A and B are shown apart, each in its own frame.
Chain A
């Protein structure tokens, strides 16, 4: 992580906001902070907020870079904002967004798992449960995850990068509820293809990280997914059938339908 980048972020945030790096991807860096962007008296050590920052890329023309950063930041925030209005969908709350600098402030979600198992995303949770992989708790969690994905797709949104680390579990009344994070590649789409690809990507993620138990895990996720569609009667079942059929096609040929790009 280059010093220059940290300096640029600190400069933009004006040193009043103390940040700590937690993750870096190809497009954005994610920080954690204790200060609220605008609410007075809300900044204390207990509260945590996420800052997702898209740094300018030097290899792009500045004008193009600006337009791309703005477009991507805006589309991510817009999706988050729309999703949080839908009943039942769990996504982090959008607190603030500065599209001109590519900066989004989000609610912090998740906890640290016991016994040094790491942050409470689905991946670490499944690793933690490896001693008793088919427990009722794991089943419940995976069905809930499936329901979240079902709700997302029933409302014609696609996540675009569904992996086990992009699903965060939050403790709630003695059990866990699933939250979807990182909508950087999200889109609003009613194409069966996009939905099937979303499911396929998650299935592959589970197969590659938890291969011994993947069959059961995927079955539970699909069970939760189907539950949402079954709530909507005939038209729901029809759509579900379309998606599962396409899902099987995608499984045979892979994620890319066209060989371009």
Chain B
């Protein structure tokens, strides 16, 4: 695991590493909530930029707004997700029982002592977390699947001539499921959008 820092938040150390050929993901999956790490499915990460932008967002949210999950590490997983649904974010970007490549992430305040036992926990091969290493293994199909709901919805709304501001709103309200019967309508204001989103959820 390498230690880095975000210039704007010098009080936090960020430890990040990549493990491949992990054999005990089933075991890890069962204890992941008690560990001081974020275990991320490496197949969904295609570059360091993607990973660290989530770290940045998590730090911004917890410093200036409010943290929505229990720890900074889990906040990072939420920040990776295009939607604000916590459970869904964990399911998509967190590890599963079959995961063999794991990105390990840990954000530690400098005042606390760093706990670095990931090496002993994970039965796998540690590799340097570089763009090349991430690029060689990511699964574009999977990324498209986990991130596409928003873009898909965007396309459909555009076809249906809905305004974009409302599209984001509906997207948040119903998590991306707009039935085709609904697409013919043009929504003019936010309150109409609200009621429309509600009526869709009811169906």
Q: Which residues of A are at the interface with B, using a C-beta cutoff of 8 A? A: 12-14, 16-17, 35-41, 43, 78, 82, 85, 95-96, 98, 100-101, 156, 188, 190
Contacts and interface: CB of A to CB of B under 8 A. Distances in A.
Contacts of B64: 98, 100-101
A76 B147 CA distance: 21
A37 B7 contact: yes
A101 B52 CA distance: 20
B162 to A, nearest CB: 10
B127 to A, nearest CB: 16
Contacts of A96: 53, 56-57
Given A38-B55, A96-B56, A188 B10 contact: no
Contacts of B6: 37-38
A35 B7 contact: yes
Interface of B: 2, 4-10, 48-49, 52-53, 55-57, 60, 64-65, 151, 154, 158, 161, 163-165, 168
Nearest to A188: B164
Nearest to B16: A40
Nearest to B14: A40
A16 B55 contact: no
B60 A13 contact: no
Nearest to A85: B151
A190 B9 CA distance: 41
A133 B125 CA distance: 63
Contacts of A188: 163-165
A43 B55 CA distance: 17
18 contacts: A13-B8, A14-B7, A14-B9, A16-B10, A17-B8, A37-B7, A37-B8, A38-B6, A39-B48, A39-B49, A40-B4, A40-B48, A40-B52, A82-B154, A96-B56, A96-B57, A188-B163, A190-B161
A98 B164 contact: no
The A interface, classified by DSSP as helix, strand, loop or mixed, is loop
A32 to B, nearest CB: 15
Which of B151, B154, B161, B164 has most chain A Cβ within 10 Å? Answer: B164
Nearest to A157: B164
Contacts of B2: 40
B7 A16 contact: yes
A216 to B, nearest CB: 36
Nearest to B55: A38
Given A14-B8, A98-B64, A100-B60, A38 B52 contact: yes
Nearest to B186: A190
A23 to B, nearest CB: 22
Contacts of B49: 39
A166 B41 CA distance: 41
A43 B8 CA distance: 13
Nearest to B60: A98
Which of A14, A35, A40 has most chain B Cβ within 10 Å? Answer: A40
Contact of A82 (B52, B56, B57, B164): B164
Contacts of A156: 158
A12 B9 CA distance: 10
Given A14-B7, A14-B10, A17-B8, A38 B53 contact: yes
Contacts of A190: 161, 163
